[in-house]
Amino acid sequence: MTLRELADATKISVGALEALEENDTERLPGGIFTRAFVRAYAAEVGLDPESMTRDFVDRAPEFSASGSEQVLDRTGKHDLYRSQQRMAGTVLKLALVGAPLAALLLFVGMRDARTLETPPVAPSGGDPATLELTSAPAPTVRPRPVPVGPPVIDTPVAERPLSLVLQPTGDCWVSLTIDGDLVFSRVMRRGEQEPYEAENEIVLNIGDAGTFGFVLNTRNGRSLGGAGEVVTARITPDNYRSYIAP
Protein backbone atom coordinates (compact mmCIF):
# COMPACT_ATOMS: atom_id res chain seq x y z
CA MET A 1 0.00 0.00 0.00
CA THR A 2 1.17 3.53 -0.72
CA LEU A 3 1.10 6.24 1.90
CA ARG A 4 -1.65 7.97 -0.05
CA GLU A 5 -3.79 4.80 0.11
CA LEU A 6 -3.12 4.55 3.84
CA ALA A 7 -4.00 8.24 4.33
CA ASP A 8 -7.30 7.82 2.47
CA ALA A 9 -8.19 4.74 4.54
CA THR A 10 -7.17 6.04 8.00
CA LYS A 11 -7.85 9.80 7.47
CA ILE A 12 -4.34 10.50 8.81
CA SER A 13 -2.27 12.96 6.77
CA VAL A 14 0.54 11.69 4.55
CA GLY A 15 3.00 13.87 6.49
CA ALA A 16 2.09 12.19 9.79
CA LEU A 17 2.38 8.71 8.24
CA GLU A 18 5.81 9.58 6.83
CA ALA A 19 6.94 10.79 10.27
CA LEU A 20 5.62 7.56 11.81
CA GLU A 21 7.52 5.33 9.37
CA GLU A 22 10.72 7.38 9.73
CA ASN A 23 10.52 7.54 13.58
CA ASP A 24 10.53 11.35 13.30
CA THR A 25 8.77 12.00 16.63
CA GLU A 26 9.24 15.78 16.37
CA ARG A 27 6.59 15.88 13.61
CA LEU A 28 4.02 13.84 15.59
CA PRO A 29 1.39 15.44 17.88
CA GLY A 30 2.35 13.34 20.92
CA GLY A 31 0.63 11.37 23.68
CA ILE A 32 -2.71 9.69 23.04
CA PHE A 33 -2.91 11.13 19.52
CA THR A 34 0.26 9.48 18.24
CA ARG A 35 -0.75 6.18 19.88
CA ALA A 36 -4.06 6.46 18.02
CA PHE A 37 -2.12 6.93 14.76
CA VAL A 38 -0.08 3.77 15.48
CA ARG A 39 -3.20 1.70 16.18
CA ALA A 40 -4.97 2.89 13.02
CA TYR A 41 -1.85 2.28 10.91
CA ALA A 42 -1.33 -1.24 12.31
CA ALA A 43 -4.97 -2.23 11.85
CA GLU A 44 -4.97 -1.08 8.22
CA VAL A 45 -1.84 -3.06 7.22
CA GLY A 46 -2.94 -6.24 9.04
CA LEU A 47 -0.81 -6.05 12.22
CA ASP A 48 -1.96 -6.38 15.83
CA PRO A 49 -2.74 -2.80 17.01
CA GLU A 50 -2.12 -3.43 20.72
CA SER A 51 1.25 -5.17 20.34
CA MET A 52 2.42 -2.57 17.81
CA THR A 53 1.43 0.24 20.21
CA ARG A 54 3.32 -1.42 23.09
CA ASP A 55 6.43 -1.80 20.88
CA PHE A 56 6.18 1.86 19.85
CA VAL A 57 5.87 3.11 23.45
CA ASP A 58 8.85 0.90 24.48
CA ARG A 59 10.97 2.63 21.83
CA ALA A 60 9.54 6.12 22.51
CA PRO A 61 8.49 6.29 26.21
CA GLU A 62 7.64 10.01 25.93
CA PHE A 63 4.47 8.92 24.09
CA SER A 64 3.25 6.77 27.00
CA ALA A 65 0.18 7.75 29.02
CA SER A 66 2.32 8.84 32.01
CA GLY A 67 4.53 10.95 29.77
CA SER A 68 1.48 12.77 28.39
CA GLU A 69 0.15 13.40 31.91
CA GLN A 70 3.46 14.96 32.98
CA VAL A 71 3.35 17.37 30.02
CA LEU A 72 -0.25 18.36 30.81
CA ASP A 73 0.65 18.83 34.51
CA ARG A 74 3.54 21.16 33.65
CA THR A 75 1.32 23.15 31.29
CA GLY A 76 -1.36 23.51 33.97
CA LYS A 77 1.13 24.77 36.57
CA HIS A 78 2.53 27.30 34.09
CA ASP A 79 -0.97 28.62 33.29
CA LEU A 80 -1.76 28.95 37.03
CA TYR A 81 1.46 30.94 37.58
CA ARG A 82 0.61 33.31 34.70
CA SER A 83 -2.93 33.79 36.05
CA GLN A 84 -1.59 34.67 39.51
CA GLN A 85 0.81 37.18 37.94
CA ARG A 86 -2.01 38.94 36.09
CA MET A 87 -4.15 39.08 39.27
CA ALA A 88 -1.31 40.58 41.32
CA GLY A 89 -0.75 43.26 38.65
CA THR A 90 -4.44 44.24 38.67
CA VAL A 91 -4.51 44.57 42.49
CA LEU A 92 -1.38 46.75 42.41
CA LYS A 93 -2.91 49.11 39.81
CA LEU A 94 -6.11 49.50 41.85
CA ALA A 95 -4.09 50.28 44.99
CA LEU A 96 -1.99 52.95 43.20
CA VAL A 97 -5.10 54.71 41.86
CA GLY A 98 -7.36 54.32 44.95
CA ALA A 99 -5.00 55.36 47.78
CA PRO A 100 -4.40 59.00 46.63
CA LEU A 101 -8.12 59.48 45.88
CA ALA A 102 -9.19 58.23 49.34
CA ALA A 103 -6.67 60.52 51.08
CA LEU A 104 -7.90 63.56 49.11
CA LEU A 105 -11.57 62.92 49.91
CA LEU A 106 -10.79 62.48 53.62
CA PHE A 107 -8.86 65.79 53.75
CA VAL A 108 -11.61 67.78 52.00
CA GLY A 109 -14.32 66.29 54.24
CA MET A 110 -12.48 67.19 57.47
CA ARG A 111 -11.83 70.78 56.27
CA ASP A 112 -15.50 71.39 55.36
CA ALA A 113 -16.66 70.02 58.78
CA ARG A 114 -14.50 72.59 60.64
CA THR A 115 -15.99 75.56 58.71
CA LEU A 116 -19.67 74.67 59.28
CA GLU A 117 -19.84 75.84 62.95
CA THR A 118 -18.61 78.99 64.80
CA PRO A 119 -18.71 79.53 68.62
CA PRO A 120 -21.35 81.89 70.17
CA VAL A 121 -20.18 85.52 70.70
CA ALA A 122 -21.10 87.74 73.70
CA PRO A 123 -22.35 91.24 72.70
CA SER A 124 -20.02 94.13 73.68
CA GLY A 125 -21.05 95.96 76.88
CA GLY A 126 -23.85 93.55 77.68
CA ASP A 127 -24.40 90.87 80.25
CA PRO A 128 -21.66 88.29 79.88
CA ALA A 129 -24.15 85.65 80.92
CA THR A 130 -26.35 86.47 77.92
CA LEU A 131 -24.86 85.19 74.78
CA GLU A 132 -26.07 86.17 71.36
CA LEU A 133 -25.87 83.47 68.77
CA THR A 134 -24.49 84.66 65.48
CA SER A 135 -25.16 82.83 62.32
CA ALA A 136 -22.20 81.13 60.83
CA PRO A 137 -21.09 82.51 57.51
CA ALA A 138 -22.02 80.47 54.53
CA PRO A 139 -19.19 78.14 53.62
CA THR A 140 -17.28 79.06 50.53
CA VAL A 141 -17.85 76.53 47.82
CA ARG A 142 -14.66 75.75 46.03
CA PRO A 143 -14.33 73.38 43.12
CA ARG A 144 -12.72 70.16 44.25
CA PRO A 145 -9.67 69.17 42.31
CA VAL A 146 -10.02 66.06 40.19
CA PRO A 147 -7.31 63.58 41.15
CA VAL A 148 -5.00 62.73 38.31
CA GLY A 149 -3.85 59.14 38.26
CA PRO A 150 -2.30 56.79 35.75
CA PRO A 151 -4.35 56.32 32.54
CA VAL A 152 -6.85 53.49 32.67
CA ILE A 153 -6.16 51.01 29.91
CA ASP A 154 -9.09 48.98 28.64
CA THR A 155 -8.18 45.32 28.51
CA PRO A 156 -10.22 42.62 26.79
CA VAL A 157 -12.57 40.86 29.20
CA ALA A 158 -12.31 37.09 29.26
CA GLU A 159 -15.51 35.56 27.92
CA ARG A 160 -17.06 32.50 29.56
CA PRO A 161 -18.34 30.04 28.64
CA LEU A 162 -16.69 29.40 25.27
CA SER A 163 -19.07 28.04 22.63
CA LEU A 164 -17.59 25.82 19.92
CA VAL A 165 -19.14 24.17 16.86
CA LEU A 166 -16.98 21.69 14.90
CA GLN A 167 -17.85 21.55 11.19
CA PRO A 168 -15.10 19.98 9.03
CA THR A 169 -15.14 20.62 5.29
CA GLY A 170 -13.82 17.12 4.59
CA ASP A 171 -13.09 13.83 6.33
CA CYS A 172 -10.67 14.71 9.13
CA TRP A 173 -9.28 13.02 12.26
CA VAL A 174 -10.14 15.18 15.32
CA SER A 175 -9.43 14.89 19.05
CA LEU A 176 -11.29 17.24 21.40
CA THR A 177 -10.46 17.87 25.10
CA ILE A 178 -12.64 20.27 27.15
CA ASP A 179 -11.59 21.56 30.59
CA GLY A 180 -9.09 18.68 30.94
CA ASP A 181 -11.53 15.88 29.91
CA LEU A 182 -11.10 14.01 26.62
CA VAL A 183 -14.48 14.25 24.84
CA PHE A 184 -13.72 12.19 21.73
CA SER A 185 -10.97 11.12 19.34
CA ARG A 186 -12.21 9.94 15.95
CA VAL A 187 -12.62 10.70 12.25
CA MET A 188 -15.23 13.39 11.60
CA ARG A 189 -16.99 13.29 8.25
CA ARG A 190 -17.67 16.19 5.92
CA GLY A 191 -20.94 17.91 6.82
CA GLU A 192 -20.91 16.87 10.50
CA GLN A 193 -21.62 19.56 13.12
CA GLU A 194 -20.84 19.06 16.82
CA PRO A 195 -21.61 21.89 19.36
CA TYR A 196 -19.80 22.13 22.73
CA GLU A 197 -19.19 24.58 25.61
CA ALA A 198 -16.13 25.07 27.85
CA GLU A 199 -15.41 27.18 30.92
CA ASN A 200 -11.59 27.31 30.91
CA GLU A 201 -9.92 25.49 28.01
CA ILE A 202 -10.48 23.77 24.66
CA VAL A 203 -7.68 21.63 23.17
CA LEU A 204 -8.05 20.55 19.54
CA ASN A 205 -5.73 18.07 17.81
CA ILE A 206 -6.31 17.95 14.07
CA GLY A 207 -4.99 15.29 11.68
CA ASP A 208 -5.54 17.40 8.55
CA ALA A 209 -5.85 21.14 9.24
CA GLY A 210 -6.75 21.89 5.61
CA THR A 211 -10.12 20.10 5.92
CA PHE A 212 -11.08 21.38 9.39
CA GLY A 213 -13.50 24.22 10.13
CA PHE A 214 -15.15 25.55 13.28
CA VAL A 215 -17.28 28.37 14.75
CA LEU A 216 -16.12 30.01 18.01
CA ASN A 217 -18.51 32.18 20.05
CA THR A 218 -20.88 32.46 17.00
CA ARG A 219 -18.03 33.67 14.74
CA ASN A 220 -16.17 31.71 12.08
CA GLY A 221 -12.79 30.38 13.21
CA ARG A 222 -9.62 31.10 11.26
CA SER A 223 -7.65 28.50 9.29
CA LEU A 224 -5.46 26.36 11.57
CA GLY A 225 -3.11 25.18 8.82
CA GLY A 226 -2.70 23.77 5.34
CA ALA A 227 -3.70 20.49 3.77
CA GLY A 228 -2.12 17.48 5.48
CA GLU A 229 -0.80 19.46 8.48
CA VAL A 230 -1.13 17.96 11.97
CA VAL A 231 -1.83 20.82 14.40
CA THR A 232 -2.74 21.36 18.04
CA ALA A 233 -4.78 24.41 19.13
CA ARG A 234 -5.28 25.45 22.78
CA ILE A 235 -8.17 27.94 23.14
CA THR A 236 -8.92 29.82 26.40
CA PRO A 237 -11.18 32.77 27.38
CA ASP A 238 -8.07 34.99 27.26
CA ASN A 239 -6.81 34.06 23.77
CA TYR A 240 -9.94 32.93 21.89
CA ARG A 241 -10.03 36.15 19.81
CA SER A 242 -6.79 35.09 18.09
CA TYR A 243 -8.60 32.02 16.70
CA ILE A 244 -11.43 34.04 15.08
CA ALA A 245 -11.23 34.77 11.36
CA PRO A 246 -10.50 38.45 10.55
- Decide if 169 is inside a domain: yes
**Final residue before a domain boundary, out of 22, 38, 63:** 63
pLDDT given at position 167: 93
Q: Please, are residues 206 and 230 in contact by the beta-carbon 8 Å criterion?
A: yes
Q: What is the pLDDT of residue 114?
A: 64
Q: Which of 24, 39, 63 is where one domain is finished?
A: 63
How are beta strands 231-235 and 194-198 bridged, if at all?
unpaired
- For residue 52, the surrounding DSSP H or E stretch is helix 49-59
Q: Could you list the mean pLDDT of each consecutive 10-residue stretch along the chain, which spans 246 residues?
A: 90 88 83 85 91 88 62 50 67 71 75 58 50 55 61 56 93 94 93 94 94 94 92 95 94
> Last residue of some domain: 63, 83, 110?
63
Determine the Cα–Cα distance for residues 16 and 38; give it in Å rounded to an integer: 10
Is 194 part of a structural domain of the chain? yes
- Quote the pTM value: 0.43
Separate counts of helices (H) and strands (E) for the chain: 5, 8
Q: What is the pLDDT of residue 131?
A: 45
Residue 195 maps to a domain: yes
For residue 232, what are the domain limits? 162-243
Number of structural domains (the chain) is 2
**Is residue 141 a part of any domain in this protein?**
no
Locate the DSSP E strands across the chain.
162-166, 172-178, 181-188, 194-198, 202-206, 214-216, 219-220, 231-235
Q: Is residue 26 part of a domain?
A: yes
DSSP letter for 28, please: S
* Structural domain includes residue 128: no
Peptide bond into 161 cis (omega under 30): yes
Position 244 scores a pLDDT of: 95
CA 14 to chain centre: 32
DSSP string, 193-211: -EEEEESS-EEEEES-GGG
User: In this structure, is residue 76 part of a structural domain?
Assistant: no
3-state SS, residue 229: coil
Let me know if residue 177 belongs to a domain: yes
